Amino acid sequence: MGKSSNSALVVLAFFAIYVIWGSTYLLNKIAVMELPPFMLAASRFTIAGVFIFLLAKIMGISLRITPKQLGNTIIAGVLFLSIGNGLVVWALRYVDTGFAALEISSQPLIILLMMRILQGKKIKPMSVVGVVLGVIGIYLLVSQKQIIAQEESIVGMVMIFFCMLCWSFASLFVARADLPTNYFVNTGYQMFFAGIVLALMSVGFGEEWSSPLLWSGKVQVSMLLLVFFGSIVAFTSFNYLLKTVSPEKVATSTYVNPIVALLLGWYFLDEKITLQSIIAASILLTGVYFINTKKTLAIFERFKR
């Protein structure tokens, strides 16, 4: 493959992790206003997992893994997707897409603090600056009058924070766990079993399932985009970039995703962008920039949504 072809692939892959991942907040918001949250997430990840298995077979990639790897992929899938993503989808019923994306962009801050608490890792001076800026940014974001005045918004905010704790713990777990060496296979197992667990959660919460044929056109389109582009294309692009360009370039998606989510939410859903949100976003994302050192990038970025 020529250099120009590689350059084109890199550009397309960056488009995927910038715009497609940033748009998943909008797509989930559109779908969850009509469908039960756990049913929505279960459908997305189960279908995506099955398609990844089919693609792996077509590409001649072996799906064989050890019992230990199977157990670890199930644990990772449940923490990252069943609880992590599933509760975010639920929270999107109560908070704007841009708010959710900005709160989640502080993930590196949570991971850094958890590494300090659970593993005793020292925090570098630049990262300390990042943590301070991150805390200020989050405070400005969540202290807005229109948020604290609404009980539902506070519920959504707390849900997302709990998701971030699960993601952080899962990130530290997978860094040391025995997982399938092929990212495609690893992702397929995580998504498939996370989807099964989400289906059980849906049944447990008494959600009412419905046929895709009964969904509105915009929800059907949103689900197709979430499955094929949000789950399969974007994640494959992410892993391609990790092998092709430097990690810090891949990490720029941490800053772009919330901006894409804010703009799409404003344009399509008429969500308001306040001056305080803009200031909070600037401070928070600057803090994330200081935290994203080369040493910790691999953990921060390996299992993004």
- The pLDDT tens digits for 141-161 are 878 876 666 778 888 999 999
pLDDT digits (tens, 9 = 90+) for 230-288: 988 887 888 788 778 876 677 778 788 888 999 999 999 999 888 988 999 899 888 88
Q: Which two tokens stand for residue 275?
A: 């001056």
Q: Which two tokens stand for residue 288?
A: 């994330």
User: Is residue 118 helix, strand or coil?
Assistant: helix
Give me the percent of the chain exceeding a pLDDT of 90: 50
Tell me which residue range forms the domain holding 230: 3-302
Any residues with CB less than 8 A from the CB of 64 and at least 6 apart, and which? Answer: none
End-to-end, the C-alpha distance of the chain in Å comes to 30
Burial label for 127, CB within 10 Å (0-12, 13-18, 19+), is buried
User: Is residue 228 helix, strand or coil?
Assistant: helix
Distances from the Cα of 98 to the Cα of 71, 136, 200, 205, 251, angstroms: 35, 18, 29, 27, 19
Separation between Cα atoms, residue 95 and residue 159, nearest integer Å = 10
Separation between Cα atoms, residue 113 and residue 65, nearest integer Å = 33
Give the model's confidence band at 298: pLDDT under 50 very low, under 70 low, under 90 confident, else very high: very low
Report whether pLDDT(125) > 50: yes
Count of domains for the chain: 1
Radius of gyration of the chain (CA): 19
User: Is residue 123 helix, strand or coil?
Assistant: coil
- Looking at residue 303, its pLDDT comes to 42
Mean pLDDT lowest for which of 54-58, 72-76, 118-122, 242-246? Answer: 242-246
Report whether pLDDT(73) > 80: yes
User: Is residue 273 helix, strand or coil?
Assistant: coil
- Looking at residue 305, its pLDDT comes to 46
- Looking at residue 253, its pLDDT comes to 83
Report whether pLDDT(296) > 60: no
CA atoms within a 13 Å half-sphere pointing along the CA-CB vector of 277: 21
